[in-house]
Amino acid sequence: MTQQNFGGIGMTSQRTRDRLINRLREQGIKDASVLEVLGRTPRHIFLDEALSHRAYEDSALPIGYQQTLSQPYIVALMTELILSAGPRKRVLEIGTGSGYQTAVLAQLVERVYSVERILPLQSKARERMRTLGLSNVYMKHADGGMGWEARGPYDAVIVTAAPESVPEPLIAQLDDGGLLVIPVGDGRKQELKLFRKNGANLEEISVTPVMFVPLLEGTVG
């Protein structure tokens, strides 16, 4: 059995995953559906084989192209925020990266639309969705700062790279009652923010300090 499979061997075993879930619970993640999905999603298939033995540590890990697989706690927290106002049907994700957050979301909402600016990362993520049998994920190679207008409006938008200020198209493409979860700031200081669109109003909550790679313009590959 290879690392690409769901096999429960060594560091990829269910017990190792259960330990991670207990830690997330201790850190304050409460949504049982989120914990359940993180517990059953094999994080090791989102990493190169050389790093897969570290997949169930609660830390960010490199995925090439100077990008990182987000820390499980942050994935759990952002997912919990997305679900905090009830079930979501159409979710836009900016920054597919490895596709780990994408795969978690795809098991909890109806459809995920995910935009990535680095083509080789997107191709690998697409393959992983196929491996996991997740057929409700739609991907686009583009600069996600523009959102994905053709498929909107969305009832949630999640951004996994940090802009210095919130890109206006992401707010414009939110449906009424929609949520936006986004890290905002520079390389020294960032804050995870939750916005809620209410008619013409935008409510804003600061959640916690975070550190994400920057949201960059243009595309690669």
Question: In this structure, are residues 132 and 144 in contact, taking their beta carbons and an 8 Å threshold?
Answer: no
Question: Shortest CA distance to 79 belongs to which of 156, 149, 169, 175?
Answer: 156
* Residue 78 CB, nearest approach to ligand SAH (Å): 9
Choosing from 41, 52, 67, 107, the residue that interacts with ligand SAH (CB under 6 A) is: 67
**Euclidean distance between the first and the last CA atom of the chain, given in angstroms as a whole number:** 32
41 binds ligand SAH (CB under 6 A): no
Total of residues contacting ligand SAH (CB under 6 A): 24
Choosing from 31, 143, 175, 191, the residue that interacts with ligand SAH (CB under 6 A) is: 143
> What token pair was written down for 74?
């942050």
Q: Which is nearer to ligand SAH, 130 or 198 (CB)?
A: 130
Question: How many angstroms separate the CA atoms of 196 and 177, rounded?
Answer: 6
* Residue 72 CB, nearest approach to ligand SAH (Å): 9
Site string for ligand SAH, 114-133 (x = CB under 6 A): -xxxx--x------------
Q: Which stretch binds ligand SAH (CB under 6 A): 24-32, 137-145, 147-155, 182-190?
A: 137-145
> What token pair was written down for 36?
């359940």
Question: How many angstroms separate the CA atoms of 12 and 182, rounded?
Answer: 30
Q: Which stretch binds ligand SAH (CB under 6 A): 33-41, 51-59, 141-149, 197-205?
A: 141-149
Judged by DSSP in three states, 159 sits in strand
Question: How many angstroms separate the CA atoms of 95 and 121, rounded?
Answer: 10
Binding site for ligand SAH (CB under 6 A): 63, 67-70, 94-95, 97-98, 100-101, 115-118, 121, 143-145, 160-161, 213, 215-216
